[in-house]
Structure 1
Amino acid sequence: MFKRISKYWWCQILGWGANAFLFLFFGFFFYQIDAAQVQYILSYCLLGILITHGFRAVIVKYKWIEKPFENVAIYFFFGILVCSIVDSFLLACISHFVLGQPDGDFKDSWMRAFFSQTIFMALWAVIYFLWHYVEESRNSQVGQLKLEATVRTLELKTIKSQLNPHFIFNALNSIRALVDENPRRARTAITELSNILRNSMQADKAETVSLENELSIVKDYLALENIRFEERLKVQYDIDPETLELPVPPLMLQTLVENAIKHGISREVNGGLILIGSHVHDMRHEITIRNTGQIVEDLNGNGFGLASTRQRLGILFGKRASFEIYNLDNAMVEAKVQMPIL
C-alpha cells in the first residue's frame, strides 16, 4: 500500500506532519496546551496540506516551472500571498467560531496567522521549486548524456563500417597477387584473412578491446603481408606485458600498421622494419609504430586510416588522448598514440 504513495504525498505528509509534531511537542512540554489547541494544530496541519496541494495544482496546470525565472518569481510571490491569506483566514475562523478560542479580536488572530503562514508557505514554495529545478536539471543532464552516448555509438559504428571494407579491400589485393603465382601460399593467405575477419567481427561489438586481442589481429595481418613481401618485411615487438589488458579502440593498431606498410615498406625497394611498441608513461598508455621510410608530405590529417584513428580517439577519450605521426630520423617514421589509463 505504501509503495503506491508518490514522493510528493510523502513529502506533504511528512513535512506538515513534522511541523505539527514540533508544535505539539513544545506545547505539551512547555506551554501545557489543552484539547482545543491540539485540534487547532491538527486543523493547521490539514489545511496546510490541502491549500498547498491546491497551490501545486495551479503550478502544474499552468506549467509555472517551465516558464522563465522572472515570471516564476512573480507567479510564486502572488501564489504564496493568496495561499497565506486563505489559510490564515480559515485558521482564524476555526479558532474563533469552531473551537471557541477568542484570543483577541478576529482581525488580530487573522493577522498573526497571516504572518506565520506566509513564512511557511514561502518555505514550501522554495522547497517545491528547488526540488523540481534540481529534478529537471538532473533529467536534462541524463538526457544529454544519453544523447551523447547514442551519437558516439553511431559515430563509432559508422567509422567501423567504413574501416572493414577498407581493410578487406587491401587484404584481398594481397591475396590476388598470389593466386596465379603460388596457389598454395594463396590458400594460406585466405586462412589468415579468415582469422582476421573473425577477430574483427568480434571487435565490432565493443567500443574498446584489450591490446592483446588487437595484437592477435595485427599478427595475423602481418603474417598475411609477409607472404607478399617475404624477406622484405621484418617485424619486431616491444610490448610491456602489463599493457596487454589495457583497452584500445578496435582495429586502431591494425590500421596504423597497415598505413606503415602501404606508405612505408611497400615504397622501399629493399623493404624495411616495423617496430610495434606499447608502454606506460606518466599514467598514459603509449603505443608506437615505427617503420622504415619517410613522410614526404603532411599526413597529419590526410588519409582515411589516420583520420579514423583521430576520430575514434576523440570520441572515446576526448582531449585526453593524442595521435601524431612524424619523421623520427632520416630513415624511420613514427606514429604515436597516447591514451589515458581508464
Structure 2
Amino acid sequence: MSKSDNKMFWLCQVLGWGAFTLLNLTVRGYFSHFAIGELINSLTLYIAFIATTTCTRWYFKRYLQSDNVAWNFVQVVLISVLTAFVTNLIVSSALFPFFEPLYGVPLTEPMRYFWLALPNLVFLSLLWSITYLTIRRQFLLKSTSAQNSALQSSLKAAQLDILLNQLNPHFMFNAINNIRALILEDPAKARDCLTDLSDVMRTTMQVKQDKEWTLHEELQLVDSYLNLNKLQFENKLSITKSIDEQALSSKVPCMMVQLLVENAIKHGIGKRRAGGDIHIDIRLESEVLTLCVNNSGELNTDADTTGVGTRNIKSRLNILYGEQAHYSLKQVDDMVQASIVIGK
C-alpha cells in the first residue's frame, strides 16, 4: 500500500467516524439535554472505533485473500462482530467506572447496558467492513488496470524492438552483399555504395527511439536504399513515384515503406533477368493514408505472403494501429502490388 493510499485511509477514518460521532452526539444529546456524559460517550466511541477498525483493516489486508467467497463472507461477519465487541469493551471500561458522575444516576445493571449496545455496534462495524472492502476492491481494480496498461505498453515496445532488430540485420546483409559484388568489378561505385550505406545506417539508428516518423523522413531513407540497389541493377531497375505532397507530414512506421521496396526487389526484381519497374504510389484521402509499392513480376504466394518481411509488416501494423491499418499483397495485371492502408 502506497503512502498516498495510507493518507487517504486515515483521512476517511477521521472524517467518516468524525461525521458519525457528530451525528450520534447531536441525536443522543438532544434527548439527554446535552449531558456531559453523552459527549464523553461519543468521543470515547470515536476513538475506540478508529482503533478497532484500523486493526480490522490490518486483518483484511493480511488474511482476506482467499478465493473462497463463502469463507471470506464468514470472516467479514466474524471480524465485524469481534470489532464491535472490542469497541464496546473499550467504551464500557472507560465509562462504567464514572457512570454516576457523568449521568447523575447509579449504574445498576452494567451487563445489560453492554449487551443492549452491542447490536448497534455490530451493525456499524459490519457497515464499515463492507464500505472499506468495496473501496479497496475499486482501488485494486484501478491499480490492476493501470498495471496491465503499463505492461501492455512495455510488451508492445519490446515486440517492436524485436521486429526492428529483425529488419536491420536483414537490410545490412543485402547492402553489404551489394557492395561486396561491386568491389572488384567497380571500386568507385563500391565506394559510392558504401557512402550511401553509411547514410542509411546513420538514419536507421533513430528507429528504435522513434518507432514512427514522418513520411518525408521515410522517403529519404527509401531514396538512399534505392540508390544502393540501382548501383547493382544499373539499367535493369526503373523507379517511378507518385507522391501526394499533403501526405509528406503524415506519421508512418519507421522503415515500413523501405521494407515494401525491399520485398519488391528481393521477391520481384531480383528474380528477373531483365529486371523490372518499381512504382511507389502514396495518397492521403479523407485522413486515410495509402502506401502502395508495385513491382514487375508474378506473385509467389508461398514466399511472398509467408516470409519474414510480410509477417513483420503485419505484426508492426497490428501493434501500432490494431484494426485501423491493413496490409494486402496481390497481383494486378503484370505487377505485384503491396499496399498498406492506415486510417479510419
TM-score by length of 2: 0.85
1:339 to 314, 339, 342: 342
Query: Displacement of 1:40 after TM fit?
Result: 1.3
Query: Displacement of 1:327 after TM fit?
Result: 0.6
1:51-70 aligned within 5 A: 51-61=52-62, 63-65=63-65, 67-70=67-70
Give the whole-Å Cα distance in 2 for the aligned partners of 1:5 and 1:296. 63
Give the whole-Å Cα distance in 2 for the aligned partners of 1:4 and 1:135. 9
Aligned residue number for residue 219 of structure 1: 223
Q: 2:169 matched to 1:165? A: yes
Aligned residue number for residue 49 of structure 1: 50
Change beyond 3 A, Cα 1:233–1:146: same
Q: 2:328 matched to 1:324? A: yes
Report the residue type matching 1:338 in the other structure. Answer: V
Change beyond 3 A, Cα 1:126–1:340: farther
Aligned residue number for residue 98 of structure 1: 98
Aligned residue number for residue 84 of structure 2: 84
Per-residue displacement from partner, 1:200-256 (whole Å, max 9, x unpaired)? 112132322222221111011112222222333222333333333333222221111
For 2:254, what is the secondary structure of its paired residue? coil
Q: 2:284 matched to 1:274? A: no
Per-residue displacement from partner, 1:252-311 (whole Å, max 9, x unpaired)? 211110111122223344433322233345644322212222203344642221121122
Aligned length: 338
Aligned residue number for residue 195 of structure 1: 199
Q: 2:236 matched to 1:232? A: yes
Q: 2:269 matched to 1:261? A: no
Change beyond 3 A, Cα 1:209–1:112: farther
Report the residue type matching 1:68 in the other structure. Answer: N
Query: Displacement of 1:48 after TM fit?
Result: 0.8
Q: 2:128 matched to 1:127? A: no
TM-score by length of 1: 0.86
Give the whole-Å Cα distance in 2 for the aligned partners of 1:240 and 1:104. 96
Aligned residue number for residue 36 of structure 1: 37
Gaps of 5+ in 2: none
Bigger shift: residues 82-91 or 25-34: 25-34
Report the residue type matching 1:81 in the other structure. Answer: V
Query: Displacement of 1:4 after TM fit?
Result: 12
Bigger shift: residues 138-147 or 189-198: 138-147
Alpha carbons 1:273, 1:291 under 8 Å: kept: yes
Query: Displacement of 1:326 after TM fit?
Result: 0.8
Report the residue type matching 2:78 in the other structure. Answer: F
Give the whole-Å Cα distance in 2 for the aligned partners of 1:301 and 1:66. 49
Give the whole-Å Cα distance in 2 for the aligned partners of 1:151 and 1:284. 27
Report the residue type matching 1:333 in the other structure. Answer: V
Give the whole-Å Cα distance in 1 for the aligned partners of 2:290 and 2:128. 56
Change beyond 3 A, Cα 1:109–1:181: same
Give the whole-Å Cα distance in 1 for the aligned partners of 2:133 and 2:80. 12
Give the whole-Å Cα distance in 1 for the aligned partners of 2:300 and 2:59. 72
Gaps of 5+ in 1: none
Query: Displacement of 1:25 after TM fit?
Result: 5.0
Query: Displacement of 1:67 after TM fit?
Result: 4.6
Change beyond 3 A, Cα 1:30–1:338: farther
Aligned residue number for residue 13 of structure 1: 14
For 2:201, what is the secondary structure of its paired residue? helix
Query: Displacement of 1:194 after TM fit?
Result: 0.8
Change beyond 3 A, Cα 1:31–1:241: farther
For 2:242, what is the secondary structure of its paired residue? strand
Give the whole-Å Cα distance in 1 for the aligned partners of 2:108 and 2:298. 99
Change beyond 3 A, Cα 1:261–1:10: same
Alpha carbons 1:65, 1:132 under 8 Å: kept: no
For 2:210, what is the secondary structure of its paired residue? coil
For 2:281, what is the secondary structure of its paired residue? strand
Query: Displacement of 1:195 after TM fit?
Result: 0.7
Give the whole-Å Cα distance in 1 for the aligned partners of 2:295 and 2:289. 20
Change beyond 3 A, Cα 1:31–1:284: farther
Report the residue type matching 1:64 in the other structure. Answer: L
Alpha carbons 1:290, 1:332 under 8 Å: kept: yes
